[in-house]
Chain A
Amino acid sequence: MTINKSIENNILTLKLEGWLDTTTSEDLGKEIEKCENVSSIILDFDKLEYISSAGLRQVVAFSKKAKSINADFAIINAGFEVMSVFQLTQLDKKFKISTK
């Protein structure tokens, strides 16, 4: 998985690409630790093919981090496969998610 990070106008955008699974979820975890002084956090799932519960846990952790620094948190461009995992776990109700 690769993560393309960009900060613009205090908005942190993380473009995830590939598989967010048990072997790669730590990469996202590291980004959570680094994240500071932003007003919004956006996860762009446009090129994310796959997400497992390990990935979901990092997404949840990220949303909690956002809350702790009073930043907005949103997910954009979720594909069908990824979205279905959010739906399966009811997490789609917890986040602002926009689909492709």
Chain B
Amino acid sequence: MKSVIARKTIIPVFFLFLILTGLLCLFNYTYVSNLIKGERKNELGQISDYIIERTEEFDTSDDTMFINKFNELSYSVCSSFDVDYICMFEPDTEKDTLTYKSIVYSPSYKSDTSGTADLFFNGPLNYALREEEIKVLKGTEKISFVTYQNKYDISLSGLICVELPSGSRTLVSIEKEFNAISEQVNRIIRIQAEFIIAVFLLTCILFYIVIRKYVSKPAGIVSNAMNNFVSNGHRNFTKMDETGNDEFGLINKSFNKMAEELDAYVENLSQQKAEIDVASKIQIGLLPEEKNLYNGCRIRAFMKPARNIGGDLYDYLELDEENTLVTIADVSGKGVSAAVFMAATLIILRQFARLKMSPQEILINTNNELAKKNPLMLFVTAFVGIYNSREKKLTYSNAGHNNPYLISNGKIKTLDNARGTVMGLFDDEQYIEETVNMNPGDTLFLYTDGVNEAVNNNKEFFGIDRLEKFLSTYSPRNGISLIKYIANKLSEYSNGTEQNDDITMLSLTAEDQTIINLKPENTDFNKIKDTILSSSIPDKFKLKLCLAAEEIFVNICSYAFEKSTGEKILTFGLKTSDRIEVSFEDNGIPYNPTENDLTDIETYDAEEQTGGLGKIIAFGIADSVRYEFKDGKNKLKLIKYTETE
């Protein structure tokens, strides 16, 4: 558990107080020292007055006698006034020396003085007088105080001038030790400081414990509870203790309340989310599944809703053997309302389409139905096209939707006519329709504005120009469908940026397909030959495809039915769209020709190994070969791309 508050507040306060205590002690020390010093000076003054008074009473004209009397006086003063020692010396201001005349120690004076006392009388000592001493010697000041520091102690000395009977002026120093006082003062102040610090330290510790217990700990508990609440996914939340009557009690109470409300809210939210998921599934379920629809055309569709549930729709439907319907639409708005409207639109459109109406009629009738009951005034843009594979024509009508593209031999053309207004707003709106030729290989590309309005990290649109560029550079050789190709480009472009709108695309590629049943006999190659030669594929590919087909066919005839006893099924398929597909299906022995490595052409001796020739020729002609064994049949497909590389 962290006690940041306690540490952050108490430690600085403690140190601040330590500094303040130090300053207080320093002040105390100076103040008390000066106070004592003053008192001491007073005392020394009185003593010196007394000494001067008494020396004036010395009735002698002899210096030695005078000094003897002075010694006696000094002794009595030392004894009765608690003075450390009194000394008399005669300075010589010219030579800067001094000569001791008398020195008397107090009996209680602790210094070891026996040696030094002798030293003092051994003759003149070098000593330059201090300013205070000169003043006293000259008589400008009656008494002067000097602080001495010798190797034993610090002492305060009162200096007075005494004139010997001979007339020479001597200085008398009355000294009192100062150490004892400062030590005493120090001790008192130290005790004070220690006491204050101890009390404060104790207070701090107590305060720390209190903060830790009543602030940090409850704060930690609240913090943990909040963390767990989120990471637990709002479940198994243990209630906080609400009993405390302090602020934390209140916080805990509020937190519990918040947690409960949040829990209920989240529960409600996930319920709604689940419902939306179901709605989304229903909606997606309404759309046709992507599958190989053969009705003379190939259809691919893609939808990526911006949110779980969207307002875009696409649809395709085999109306009869030769007509295929394709629809794309975009409902205004987003979310549930758009989705409901989308579902209604999809079903109405589909029902009118099933009645074999033309695109124009489908739009007119759907619009009337939608406009009748549309209180929210939602509207829908839609494109409806019907491709007739016999006539190789697309008939279409557009209700305010993005113009689709018709891609033919790598050239893109905008289908920008047959335009009417959006559906759902006005009754009796009229729509027109147009017809355009679609040859095998031509592709109709439908999309919603989610495509061109897809954004990248810089919030820039994908744009029509980029879409057209990719549509015209697409090649079936990429191995992926046009829709998948554009979807990949969109995904690369948006690079994870969340899309604001549903992205929906649908493509219809016109195809020519012939399927014929064959007997596994070489003579049936003529049927294959006739099929290929009479097909719509470009002449330059016909012979090559015949050759590839023959080689596969001969192989199947020779090997597939070796052990077969039942009905021999063999079909040949030729499909022309943006590529040519030659396919064979047989119910013979499972055999995957793509698995066995092709004979190595470098070491291959064609004269000797003529058996492998067929596969070399067939696989050499095809751009890609696909094999699968499915539903009890070998399914082999040779693909040849018609566009020039």
Known contacts A21-B550, A94-B607; is A56 also within 8 Å of B522 by CB?
A: no
Contact A53/B613 with A22-B550, A23-B522 known, Cβ cut-off 8 Å:
yes
Q: Contact at B525–A89, with CB atoms within 8 Å?
A: no
Q: Is A5 an interface residue (CB 8 A)?
A: no
Residues facing B in A83-98 (CB within 8 A) are 85, 88-91, 94
Interface residues of A (CB under 8 A from B): 19, 21-23, 49-50, 52-54, 56-57, 60, 63-64, 81, 85, 88-91, 94
Contacts of B550 in A (CB 8 A): 21-22, 52-54
Residues of A within 8 A of B620 (CB): 88
New contact pairs (9) apart from A21-B546, A53-B614, A89-B606, CB-CB < 8 Å: A21-B525, A22-B525, A23-B525, A54-B550, A56-B613, A57-B610, A64-B607, A89-B616, A90-B604
Q: Which 9 A-B pairs have the closest CB atoms?
A: A53-B613, A53-B614, A57-B610, A22-B522, A88-B620, A91-B606, A52-B550, A22-B554, A89-B606
Which of A19, A52, A56, A90 counts the most B-chain CB atoms under 10 A from its CB? A52
Q: Which residues of A contact B601 (CB under 8 A)?
A: 90
Please indicate the chain B residues that have their CB under 8 angstroms from the CB of A53 in the complex. 550-551, 554, 610, 613-614, 617
CB proximity to A under 8 Å, residues B481-540: 522-523, 525-526, 529
Question: Is residue B287 contacting chain A, with contact meaning CB distance below 8 A?
Answer: no
- B551 in complex: contacting residue of A19, A52, A90, CB < 8 Å: A52
Q: When chains A and B are docked, how far (Å) is the Cα of A6 from the Cα of B617?
A: 31
Which listed residue (B523, B546, B617) contacts A89, Cβ 8 A? B617
Q: Chain A residues with Cβ under 8 A from B525's Cβ?
A: 21-23
- The interface size bin for chain B is 20 to 34
B551: A residues at CB distance < 8 A: 52-53
Contacts A21-B525, A54-B554 given; does A60 touch B616 at CB 8 Å: no
Question: CB-CB < 8 A to B347: which residues of A?
Answer: none
With CB as the reference atom, state the residue of chain B lying closest to A88: B620
The CA of A63 and the CA of B553, in the complex, are separated in Å by 26
Assess the B610–A56 pair: CB atoms within 8 A. yes
The residue from A50, A91, A94 contacting B547, defined by CB atoms under 8 A apart:
A50
> What are 30 A-B contacts defined by CB distance under 8 Å?
A19-B529, A21-B525, A21-B550, A22-B554, A23-B526, A50-B543, A50-B547, A52-B547, A52-B550, A52-B554, A52-B617, A53-B550, A53-B554, A53-B610, A53-B613, A53-B614, A54-B550, A56-B606, A56-B610, A56-B613, A57-B610, A57-B613, A60-B606, A85-B547, A89-B606, A89-B617, A90-B601, A90-B604, A94-B606, A94-B607
Contacts of B522 in A (CB 8 A): 22-23
Q: Which residues of A contact B617 (CB under 8 A)?
A: 52-53, 85, 88-89
| Chain A residues closer than 8 Å to B529, beta-carbon distance | 19, 21
Which residues, 236 to 274 on B, are CB-close (under 8 Å) to A? none
A47: min CB distance to chain B, Å: 14
A49 to chain B minimum Cβ distance, whole angstroms, is 7
Mark B residues whose CB is within 8 Å of A.
522-523, 525-526, 529, 543-544, 546-547, 550-551, 553-554, 601, 604, 606-607, 610, 613-614, 616-617, 620-621
| Residues of chain A with a CB closer than 8 A to B616's CB | 88-89
Q: Which of chain B's residues have a CB closer than 8 A to the CB of A52? A: 547, 550-551, 554, 614, 617
The residue in chain A whose Cβ has the minimal distance to the Cβ of B550 is A52
**In the docked arrangement, what's the CA distance between A53 and B606, Å?**
10
Most-contacted residue by chain B among A63, A81, A85 (CB, 10 A): A85
Q: Are A90 and B607 in contact (CB under 8 A)?
A: no
- B residues near A90, Cβ cutoff 8 Å: 601, 604, 606
Tell which of A23, A57, A81, A94 touches B543, judged by Cβ atoms closer than 8 Å.
Answer: A81
Residue pair B610, A63 in contact (C-beta under 8 Å): no
Task: Compute how far the CA of A95 lies from the CA of B614 in the bound complex, rounded to whole angstroms.
Answer: 19
A96 CB, min distance to chain B CBs, angstroms? 14
A21 to B549, CA, bound (A): 11
Give B618's nearest chain A residue, CB to CB. A53
Q: Nearest Cβ distance between residue A57 and chain B, in whole angstroms?
A: 5
Nearest Cβ distance between residue A2 and chain B, in whole angstroms?
A: 16
Distance between A94 CB and nearest chain B CB, rounded to angstroms: 6
Nearest CB in chain A: distance from B94 CB, A: 137
Enumerate chain A residues within 8 angstroms of B543, measured Cβ to Cβ.
Answer: 49-50, 81
Contacts of B613 in A (CB 8 A): 53, 56-57, 89
User: Cβ of A56: which chain B residues have Cβ within 8 Å of it?
Assistant: 606, 610, 613
A63's closest neighbor in chain B, by CB?
A: B607
Contacts of A21 in B (CB 8 A): 525, 529, 546, 550
B606:A23 contact, CB within 8 angstroms: no
A65→B547 CA distance, assembly (Å): 26
Chain A nearest Cβ from B495, distance in angstroms: 45
Q: How far is the CB of B315 from chain A (nearest CB, A)?
A: 46
In the complex, what's the smallest C-beta–C-beta distance from B64 to chain A, in angstroms?
152
User: How close is B527's CB to chain A, nearest CB, in angstroms?
Assistant: 11
Give the chain A neighbours of B614 by CB distance below 8 A: 52-53
Q: Which residue of the partner chain B has the closest CB to A61?
A: B610
Find chain A residues with CB under 8 A from B546 CB: 21, 50
